[in-house]
Amino acid sequence: MRSVTSQRLLAALLILAAAAAAVALNVLLLGRASAQNEPVGKLAPAKNLPPAPQWTIRPTTGPVHDEGSDD
């Protein structure tokens, strides 16, 4: 009976250690990603973009007449 309890304790400790390692790695990665000089909310579009090719299909304006095909 004692070995079953110790196996369960070992399994619980391993799961807890894996969860703690995952949390620590996420905190580390988030800290490195947020240390960059270009915050996500302040991105600027590229200037001097070339015009779209002639074969580009532009989106239509107004209601789409698909008769509820995605319902």
DSSP secondary structure string for all residues of 29-65 = HHHHHTTSSS-GGG--PPSSPPPPPTTPPPPP-S---
Q: How confident is residue 31, by pLDDT bands cut at 50, 70 and 90?
A: confident
pLDDT of residue 44: 67
Residue 12, both tokens: 């619980």
The closest alpha carbon to 32, from 24, 22, 41, belongs to 24
Mean pLDDT of the residues in the chain: 80
- Percent of the residues in the chain that have a pLDDT greater than 90, as a whole number: 30
